[in-house]
Structure 1
Amino acid sequence: MENIFEYAPIIYMDKKEPISIKKVGYRIYEKDGERSDSFNRSFDFQNHKGTVKVIEYAYYLDYDIQHLYDLEHIWIYLDKEGKVVGAEGSYHGRFLNAILFDVTGFAEKGKRIKMYSQPGKHAMLAAPRLMFLYPELYESCQRLAGISGLDAPERYLTDIHITEEENQKVIKYIRDNFSFEPTMEFEEYVISEDDYMPWNELAEKIPEFIQKQLDIIL
């Protein structure tokens, strides 16, 4: 099994980013066409020549600047020698290439790519300039902060139920506590090895994380 720390992407976040990465779940996929356990996608090994396996990193944050619950992803594609032959990052429910022809993107002997987290929203991108493709880059962090309240997949909400009135409190809490103006200046965000865990373990903890935040807010 690959050492997941050897390939763990180096994450850069806005200098004023108010929301921290809480945990990182990981899983290795070795079958072409296999579906991700944590993202709505299948893996196509043919998109990155020579791929024999994919390491999936799932980044859990208590909040997106617009809602309670956030899960972002980076995928690292490896060949049979363990060389990185491709990478992708999550982008608002979809995914984009993370290695571009005009962006080096690598550090530490070519195993760890550099990725930039969109301020507040946390989409994972190869370069900060790509963030300007998002129309609400600044507005989402200010005027539109908190608008979705609690917004998590049903699989994590089986035992969690809130009223519309309570959801309005979630909206207000996010807006009051996390609204900010992005600097678009980025610095490395250090993630402890202790914060990495197998995806299935993280998935079990997510309802607890959500409930804890609701207890604080309500």
Structure 2
Amino acid sequence: MSSHDIEILSTYSPVLLFDRKEPFLPVKVGYTIFEESGKSPSTPLFVALTDEEKYAIEYAIYWDYDIQHLYELEHVWIYVGKDDNVSRVKASWHGIYNEFPNDILKFDSKHVYLYSQPGKHAFSPVVDTFFHFPGVIESCSVLAGTEGLLLTSVFQGVYQKSALKDYLARKYLEKFAFIPSLEFDKEYRFSEDMFVRWEELYEWIPKRIKECLYNIFDELIKL
């Protein structure tokens, strides 16, 4: 990773606001910097730059756990104008990629603030979103762990689901069930050592999943 990349990533990285009771925080961030329009390497999104934009930064944010499953990847795209200011912001919401109106975005310098859905980690610049989202309480409490090991299209054929893996993930996550406070006062900023190229993150994630499963298994057999 070049010093130029680090400077760009650090200058424009989003600030995440988590629920006070959020049990899981990001582990690594895979990045791609687009100096011209192109296909996202980690989602179906096509990253299209306008004539007035210098580049776009894709932050592929990895957690070990969503409250309902092992493996979690959410995304933020920061578009930078030729004046070096943020021109647009997009972020993921359960497989949907939303572009937010500029007039509702809040910044600390060039760092946009984004709220993260309790337990589930989808992004919104407006906290009221989570008060109206159906199932926000249930997903963090009675449904904790119910999805086992998540396998998305980006990792099809790279690792496999199984009944045992789902069981291990479920038993582990059940312990973290919580009722969200809906007080988003846990502010999170990325450190430079969390950033890796997307290609490196892609190679690392399956190994990390295996490590998590082994650790859960070891924990269970020691009970």
Q: Which amino acid aligns with 1:86?
A: R
SS at match of 1:27: strand
Q: Check conservation: 1:67, 1:171, Cα contact below 8 A.
A: yes
Give 1:163's aligned residue: 162
Q: CA deviation at 1:113?
A: 0.6
Q: Extract unaligned runs of 5+ from structure 1.
A: none
**How big is each residue's C-alpha offset from its partner over 1:49-85, in whole Å with a ceiling of 9 and x where there is no partner?**
8334211111100011111100011100112222211
**AA paired with 1:200?**
E
Q: TM-score normalised to the size of structure 1? A: 0.88
Q: Distance in 2 between matches of 1:82 and 1:148?
A: 41
Cα deviation, 1:96-155, whole Å, max 9, x if unaligned, reads 224442x341112xx111111111000111021112342111111011111110012365
**Range 116-125 or range 148-157, more displaced:** 148-157
Alignment of 1:59-78 (within 5 A): 59-78=61-80
One-letter identity of the residue aligned with 1:35: K
Q: Does 1:184 align with 2:188?
A: no
1:191-217: per-residue Cα shift (whole Å, max 9, x none)?
221111121111111011110111122
- What residue identity is the alignment partner of 2:183? E
- Aligned letter for 2:113? K
Q: 2:121 & 2:85 partners in 1: Cα distance?
A: 27
Q: Take 2:200 and 2:158, find their aligned partners in 1: how far apart are those partners?
A: 18
Q: Given the alignment of the two structures, is residue 28 of structure 1 paired with residue 38 of structure 2, yes or no?
A: no
Paired residues, number: 211
**Could you tell me which amino acid in structure 2 is paired with residue 43 of structure 1?**
V
Residue 127 of structure 2: aligned partner = 128
TM-score, reference length from structure 2: 0.86
More displaced stretch, 162-171 vs 37-46: 162-171
Deviation, structure 1 residue 45:
3.3
**Contact 2:16/2:114 (CA < 8 Å) preserved in 1?**
yes
**RMSD (CA atoms):** 2.0
Where does the alignment leave 5 or more consecutive residues of structure 2 unmatched? 218-223
Q: What is the percent sequence identity of the aligned residues?
A: 37
